[in-house]
Amino acid sequence: MEKTPHPDIPEIWRWLSEVPDPEIPVISLTDLGIIREVAWREDTLVVTVTPTYSGCPATTIINLDIEKALRDRGIEKLRLERRLSPPWTTDWLTEEGREKLRAYGIAPPIDGTNADGRLAGRVSRLMNGSNLTIACPRCGSAATEKISQFGSTPCKASYRCTDCLEPFDYFKCI
Ligand SMILES: [Zn+2]
């Protein structure tokens, strides 16, 4: 019996790499690293997604965007699965994604920090104590100050560069 050919998996990853993050549209969902798996199970395409953090209001929008992107390409049977473990961390952002953030004026998260509660707590204490330097994404200066714990979205903090005086967002490590 002949089966309808499915679009192959690398092709589907390419499509997903064109779906922008609803909060920071300069990076895609694959740059963000939240798409964990794409697989055919029988005739159903299963896309496994790890939300950036539970309660992030963008999660619902992200799921709808994935569905729309795939349906527009003719995928009829589709299932989105949520994988909460291991939790997403900013370490999953791709190099390309970090470059795009910088080019857009958002300081990418600092390496080595992750979603682990203890570490995040420690990092956030360090940040409050100004021991953690967030470099200005525009001029690279380390002379920056935090204006607000929350930027344009809860995932970001607002900073200002005291050299070039530009305000910028820092993508918080979670
Ligand atoms: Zn600057």
Q: What residue ranges do the domains of the chain occupy?
A: 9-82, 90-171
Q: List the structure tokens of 140.
A: 């690279």
What's the gap in Å between 39 CA and the centre of ligand 1? 44
- Measured CA distances, 10 to 133, 146, 170 (Å): 38, 41, 32
Question: In angstroms, what is the span from residue 168 Cα to ligand 1's centroid?
Answer: 9
> How confident is the model at residue 2, as a pLDDT?
52
Distance 138 CA to ligand 1 centre (A): 5
pLDDT at 123 over 70: no
Compute the residue count for the chain.
Answer: 174
How would residue 132 be classed by pLDDT, with cut points 50, 70 and 90?
low
From the CA of 160, how far away is ligand 1's center (Å)? 8
pLDDT of residue 11: 96
CA of 25 to the centre of ligand 1 (A): 22
Residue 161 dihedral angles phi and psi, to the nearest 5°: -90, 130
- pTM score, whole prediction: 0.70
pLDDT attached to residue 111? 58
Task: Note the pLDDT of residue 3.
Answer: 58
Q: Is the dihedral of CA 28, 30, 31, 34 positive or negative?
A: positive
- Average confidence (pLDDT) over 98-103: 89
More confidently predicted of 31 and 169: 31
The answer to whether residues 31 and 38 touch, using CB atoms and an 8 Å cutoff, is: no
Look up residue 136 and give its two tokens. 């200005």
Distance 55 CA to ligand 1 centre (A): 32
Domain 9-82 has CATH 2.30.30.60: no
